[in-house]
Amino acid sequence: MKDWTLSKKLLAVLLSSVAFTILFSFFFIHFLYSKLYLDSMEESIVYQGKRTASHYHYGELSDEIIEKIQWYNIVSEYEIIVVDQLDDLSTYFPYKIDYKNLIDKKDYPSLEKGSYVLKRGYVEELGREVLGAIFPIKGNDGLIGFIYIYVPLADIQDVFRESIPILIAVGCLFFFILFLVVNRAWQSIFKPLQDLQHLSGEISKGNYSKRMHTVRSDEIGQLAQAFNSMSQSLAQQEEQKREFTSNIVHELRTPLTYISGYVHVLQDKIYSSPEEAEQYLSTIEKETARLNKLINDLAELNHLQAGMYTIERQPIAIAQLLLDTLDLFHFRLTEKHADVQLELEEDLIMEGDPQRIQQVFYNTIDNAVKYSDVHGALHIQLTRMDGYALYSLTNSGMTIPEKDIGRIGERFFRTDKARNRKTGGTGLGLSIVQEIVRMHDGSFKITSDETTGTTVEIELPCLTIQGKDDSCD
């Protein structure tokens, strides 16, 4: 049964339910027959027997009593036999009950004590079951007579003659309604599942454009929405994978082309002076360093996104760390004649990994310097706000189109579509920044317009000391 499909299992459950219902109805009818009809007949016989026996007074059988018994036999469904000796009953009732004599030896002790004896069984001559009871009559000197009152029992179909057609009609109506409900549920459940199975096969073949169209809001509708979300996500991932492959090929092909070309020139000694050969070697060294940086950044980003890197948290004087990082760009800032404006709150303390937080500062400042104009301005702020340290960096220069803002942080995504080698970079810097900020429970935001320039805003939670105020409050 474990290999059955869901539809077969539900069908088996349905058929089992129908069979159980029919079986239950059968036993319930027999229960009613036994408890209602038979018990009521037994109570009636006992009542009539005791009432008849009460007419005897010390064994006197008057003509009046005989007439009453004869009249009662005519007008009622019961048969009453009165005898002086127990053995005489076989004369008036010459039938066997369940192929046994009416009187059994084990009945004598009960009758002698004055207790009545019930008799029920099939009588072949009458063609039906008979229910009766023998009542002893006691006189001054012991038993002086016996009353046997009995009635042929109606068959179960006779008892429920009027009820059975109603039960059959109600049963047929019930099963018809059940069929309609199950058929509707069958279409409602299995048709979408079959569609889902078909679409899953299409997705397994790489066709991610298929969607399930539904307006339902139940579990099936939620499943369809989840499937559509999965299809869309897979389509996006496939597109990103193709773009990633294209990007990585492009990023690797350019430096490898330079290296291969200059190595060929040096091997064949196609240069005019030692200075020219040195220049070729310098270019090879730069391109090799660029390849190493690309591979290192990519490996680092994969480690961060896969959660393979553990943050070593410790208190950080974040303003001093920012100033130390800014010193690394002294030469490049001087070269561009950049106007650096600082607004720092030097007493801010946060808990995090100093190396990673410095990497956040380095990558954002590196991008700002790289894309700023000569004689441009860099505005760096570090302020406190609601338990967070707000790091803001604004540069004047190349702005980011609005349609590209949402893609900032994607692997290899750069706004300079031509991948100008003068600006350099791998397109992984801000992706690494976003992952580090996420691991520190912070937030990353970037805006850009021609009036104010491009602004990066990063919020990082400050250090909380137990029993004291937050260090950013």
Q: What is the pLDDT of residues 179-232, one digit of tens each?
A: 777 777 766 676 777 777 778 887 887 787 778 777 777 777 787 888 888 888
User: What pTM value is reported for the model?
Assistant: 0.49
- DSSP 8-class letter at 76: S
> Is residue 319 assigned to a domain?
yes
Instruction: CATH number of the domain at 321, please.
Output: 3.30.565.10
- 336: in domain: yes
175 and 18 Cβ atoms separated by less than 8 Å: yes
Label residue 93 exposed, middle or buried (CB < 10 Å: 0-12, 13-18, 19+).
Answer: buried
What are the phi and psi torsion angles at 242 (to 5°)? Answer: -65, -40
Does some domain include residue 237? no
In 10 A of CB 185, how many CB atoms?
12
Residue 470 lies in a domain: no
Q: Across the strands, what pairs with 146? A: 83, 136
- How far is the C-alpha of 179 from the C-alpha of 191, rounded, in Å? 17
458 contact partners, CB below 8 Å, separation of at least 6: 360, 364, 390, 391, 392, 433, 437, 442, 443, 444, 445
Look at the chain and report how many structural domains it folds into. Answer: 2
Please give the C-alpha separations between residue 377 and each of 46, 109, 415, 446, 452, in angstroms, as whole numbers: 115, 123, 20, 17, 11
3-state secondary structure of 92: helix
Please say if the pLDDT value at position 472 is more than 90. no
Pairwise CA distance, residues 115 & 208, whole Å: 88
Of the residues 136, 159, 182, the one at which a domain ends: 159
304 has pLDDT over 90:
no
Is position 42 within any domain? Answer: yes
How far is residue 128's CA from residue 154's CA, in Å, rounded to a whole number?
8
Q: How many CB atoms lie within 10 A of CB 327?
A: 9
Helix 219-267 vs helix 163-204: crossing angle, to nearest 10: 10
* Count of beta carbons in the 10 Å neighbourhood of residue 17: 12
Domain extent at residue 74: 6-159
- Residue 122 pLDDT grade (very low, low, confident, very high; cuts 50, 70, 90): confident
What are residue 357's phi and psi, to 5 degrees? Answer: -65, -40
H runs (alpha helix) in 33-162: 39-53, 63-75, 89-92, 108-112, 156-159
Does residue 190 form part of some domain? no
With 0-12 / 13-18 / 19 or more C-beta atoms within 10 angstroms meaning exposed / middle / buried, residue 462 is buried
Pairing of strands 128-139, 142-152: antiparallel
- Which of 128, 159, 190 is the C-terminal boundary of a domain? 159
Domain holding 132: CATH number?
3.30.450
Structural domain ending residue among the three candidates 110, 131, 159: 159
- Give pLDDT tens digits for 128-172: 888 888 888 876 677 777 888 888 877 666 555 566 677 677 778
For the chain, what percent of residues have pLDDT higher than 90?
7
Mean pLDDT computed over 320-342:
89
465 pLDDT exceeds 60? no
Name, in order, each residue with C-beta under 8 angstroms of 53's C-beta and a sequence gap of 6 or more. 135, 137, 147
Dump pLDDT digits (tens) for 362-402: 889 988 888 888 888 899 999 988 888 999 999 887 777 77
Q: Is residue 215 part of a domain?
A: no
Q: What are the angstrom distances between the C-alpha of 223 and each of 185, 187, 195, 198?
A: 16, 16, 12, 15
235 within some domain: no
- The Cα–Cα gap between 338 and 366 comes to 13
Q: What residues contact 247, with CB distance under 8 A and at least 6 apart?
A: 411, 412, 427
